[in-house]
Amino acid sequence: MTQAPRRAPLRLRIIQGGLLTLTTVISFAALVLPLALRPAALPLKAGDVAPRDLLAPRDIEYVSDVLTEEARQAAEHAVAPVYAPADPAIAREQIARLRATLQYISIVRADAYATPEQKLADLAALRDISLPRETAERILTLSASRWDAIQQEALSVLERVMRNPIRPDEVESIRRDIPSLVSLALSEENAQLVAELVRAFVAPNSLYSPELTEAARQAAREAIEPVVQSYKAGEIVVRSGEVITEADLEALQRLGLIQSEPQISDYLGAAALVIVLATFVGLYFNRRPQPFLDDPRSLTLISLAFIVFLVAARLVIPNRTVIPYVYPVPAFGLLLTALFTVETGLVFSLPLCLLAAYGLPNMLDLMPFYLLATLSGVLVLGQARRVWAFVRAGMAIAGAGAAMMLAYRLPFTPTDWVGSATLFGAAAFNGMASASLTLLLQYFLAQLLGFATALQLLEISRPDFPLLQFFLRHAPGTYQHSLQVANLAEQAAERIGADALLTRVGALYHDVGKAANPAFFIENQTPGSINPHHDLPPSSSATTIIQHVLDGLHLARKYRLPRRVQDFILEHHGTLVARYQYAQALEAAGGDPSKVDVSQYRYPGPRPRSRETAILMLADGVEALVRAEHPETEDELRALVRRVIDERVKQGQLNDSNLTLSDLHQIQEAFVSVLRGTQHPRLQYPSAEGEIAEDIPTRPVRQVR
């Protein structure tokens, strides 16, 4: 057990520093080489003043996109708004509303029980028309015949008015002309009343049509032929002192007279960004060490993946519109998450997202697009234990990318609906492409480099996996023991935040080597069978027992188990001594330790080098001792668990595991919680002062596991 991070060996520190330096240098080159390779030219842009006469070095004729677009925009703007034909449905609706209003007025007029004031109040309540009080009083005093004539004339006038197209901007002028449409047979006073009734129901029936207007404008644009611009060699393109227009800039670029020239600030900016990001990554993992830092293969993979994704991005993204949103930058973060941890994916994604978009004209919307999409995908992917998790991660990338375009691109960059739909489609494709690429790469890289991905661990933990079937058929007792140890180890790993899935799978396979010689282990022997250890000298018996570690490693390699799972087989006994056989050898030597080679009785190791393999060592010892001593109370059980942990600490078996005292306390509580109701019989194991015997046959029984 350690209380401070172990200092990496010199060779490993050289590899770490070399890979970090190499990645930093290549990242810097990826940012600045495109600048350095550009030919020297005047660093001018539209709006600048020409410092001298700029002459055409050669004859040139080209289609000017700038002038063509200007001509097309002028033609488009010259098109007047287009309105749809008069809509008869609107006319009918307005006539119906007028008729309903007139009927209501007739009802109010005919109400014999209402007072004049009540009738005026009823007329004031009309919603479609607001009648002045004097107009309302005049209506109430009209005779029935005159009122009928006014109604008919109002409906007739409104019908004639609404038959003609009325645009929104023409409504007021048409309302002013209504009195001229009223029949001359009516008196002046009644004609005004008709006009007042009709005005309220005149409404636009010819509405502005965006589709027709856009079609007319598009037709006007298409009618404009491309504008051809030409220059003769020596002709002045821009005179000294003139402001450079977009058309001038286009001509200068076509002639090769102008191009952005890198400044020292470009190099300093790129260097500053790369150095800060490299320092950030180095400091982060110095404060929070990860297992992959001790593995040169893992470091090399991360470095190469980072370089490939970055260089490819810098080659394909510049000067493109849609491709930057299609390029699967999030796949890098998803890949590291699937192969290592969520934390690794998050930390390394940050520099890639910043560097991939650095210096591009649209970097202010590309950076948040890459960064938020990647972080969302990594967090949704999580432990990557299901294929569905990759699908959900792809959906999260697509959703976050679309949201970032809504937030950072569309409000600031005018884009038509076709362009917007294309960009959203690119974001959706990016998500699915990133998830698919990650799923493919993580499978092949895990197979090639021996990594243990969550999907692979789930696959090899299935009961129908060939090696587990071999294990179950040849050593069923040991298989059941491994299941119990796996349950213990998994709960303890979850309690301290270690990799619970890896711990469980490693525990399932830790004793698989016993399937090669199952009869030498008591849990696989049937009652009444002969113990083969009775006829063996102590050294041979110890060799046979210890051999199950190497046999397990051989089977693991044969069935292509991940290297991390192989570590559980190698490290679950650490460098412990087969105590019982060693005690037998001492007894045969008359108690003289100098006559016994202890190395013949010691497991090959190494000691546990991770929290997960250390948990397995403790779970293996605890499960064995509980079966041997049958604790009857929780206090006895807790004391037994504490005894195993203390012995492993005293023997130095946990020195390389990075477990803390707090972790050991949590592991103890997890073991006690699981074992409280699962105390099964197990034969008694002998013990020596300060140590717990592991895999040791006892005198009153025939053989240990």
Residue closest to 484 by CA, chosen among 637, 619, 612: 619
CB 581 within 8 Å of CB 541: yes
What pLDDT, on a 0 to 100 scale, did the predictor assign at position 689?
47
Give the residue extent of every domain in the chain: 88-199, 288-451, 457-692
Backbone angles phi, psi at 701, to 5 degrees: -120, 175
Q: How far apart are CA 190 and CA 149, in angstroms?
A: 9
What pLDDT, on a 0 to 100 scale, did the predictor assign at position 32?
83
Instruction: Look up tokens 């969520």; give the residue.
Output: 342
CB atoms within 10 A of CB 79: 16
Residues of the chain with pLDDT under 70: 1-9, 34-43, 57-58, 233-234, 256, 258-263, 291, 319, 361, 450, 522, 524-536, 538, 540, 580-584, 588-589, 592, 595-596, 598, 677-705
Longest dimension (CA), the chain: 146
What pLDDT, on a 0 to 100 scale, did the predictor assign at position 380?
93
CB crowding 355-382: b at 16 or more within 10 Å, else e: bbbbbbebbebbbbbbbbbbbbbbebbe
What pLDDT, on a 0 to 100 scale, did the predictor assign at position 699?
37
H or E stretch covering 10 = helix 10-36
CATH top-level class for 288-451?
mainly alpha
Q: How would CATH label the architecture of 457-692?
A: Orthogonal Bundle (1.10)
Q: How far apart are CA 353 and CA 350, in angstroms?
A: 5
Token pair of 206 as six digits: 């010819």
List, in sequence order, every residue forming a beta bridge with 258; answer none if it has no partner. Answer: 42
CB atoms within 10 A of CB 52: 10
Return the SS3 of 153. helix
Token pair of 313 as six digits: 């991005």
Asked, colleague to colleague, whether 288-451 and 457-692 share their fold, the answer is no
Helices (H), 319-465: 323-326, 330-339, 342-357, 363-381, 387-408, 417-449, 454-460
Token pair of 174 as six digits: 């048409």
**This prediction's pTM:** 0.55
Q: Which residues contact 178 (CB under 8 A, 6 or more apart)?
A: 157, 161, 195, 198, 199, 202
Q: How far apart are CA 626 and CA 637, in angstroms?
A: 8
Q: Is the peptide bond before 466 cis (omega within 30 degrees of 0)?
A: no
Q: How far apart are CA 72 and CA 69, in angstroms?
A: 5
Q: Which residues contact 294 (CB under 8 A, 6 or more apart)?
A: 8, 12, 609
3-state helix, strand, coil in the chain (%, to 5): 65, 5, 30
What single letter denotes the amino acid at residue 439? L
DSSP 489-513: HHHHHHHHTS-HHHHHHHHHHTTGG
Token pair of 365 as six digits: 């919307």
Instruction: Look up tokens 């950072």; give the residue.
Output: 408
Q: How far apart are CA 452 and CA 225, in angstroms?
A: 63
Q: How far apart are CA 432 and CA 438, in angstroms?
A: 10
Q: Which residues contact 166 (CB under 8 A, 6 or more apart)?
A: 86, 174, 202, 203, 204, 205, 206
Q: Which residues contact 243 (CB under 8 A, 6 or more apart)?
A: 47, 48, 49, 50
* Chain segment 337-360, per-residue pLDDT in tens: 988 888 999 999 999 999 998 887
What pLDDT, on a 0 to 100 scale, did the predictor assign at position 525?
64
Give the length of the chain.
705
H or E stretch covering 583 = helix 579-588
Residue closest to 47 by CA, chosen among 288, 282, 221, 238: 238
Q: How far apart are CA 349 and CA 363, in angstroms?
A: 16
What pLDDT, on a 0 to 100 scale, did the predictor assign at position 526?
63
CB atoms within 10 A of CB 453: 23
Radius of gyration over every alpha carbon of the chain, rounded to an integer in angstroms: 43
CA dist 355 → 206, 277, 280, 317, 363 (Å):
55, 9, 14, 12, 10
Instruction: Look up tokens 């023997």; give the residue.
Output: 651
Q: How far apart are CA 576 and CA 590, in angstroms?
A: 23
DSSP 237-259: EE-TTPBP-HHHHHHHHHTT-B-
Q: How far apart are CA 186 and CA 146, in angstroms?
A: 9
CB 139 within 8 Å of CB 131: yes
What pLDDT, on a 0 to 100 scale, did the predictor assign at position 649?
92
Q: How far apart are CA 490 and CA 148, in angstroms?
A: 94
What pLDDT, on a 0 to 100 scale, did the predictor assign at position 126?
86
CB 374 within 8 Å of CB 353: yes
What pLDDT, on a 0 to 100 scale, did the predictor assign at position 704?
37
Token pair of 405 as six digits: 């375009």
Q: How far apart are CA 656 and CA 605, in angstroms?
A: 12
Residue closest to 356 by CA, chosen among 403, 307, 394: 307
Return the SS3 of 688. strand
* Chain segment 282-303, per-residue pLDDT in tens: 898 888 877 677 778 888 889 9
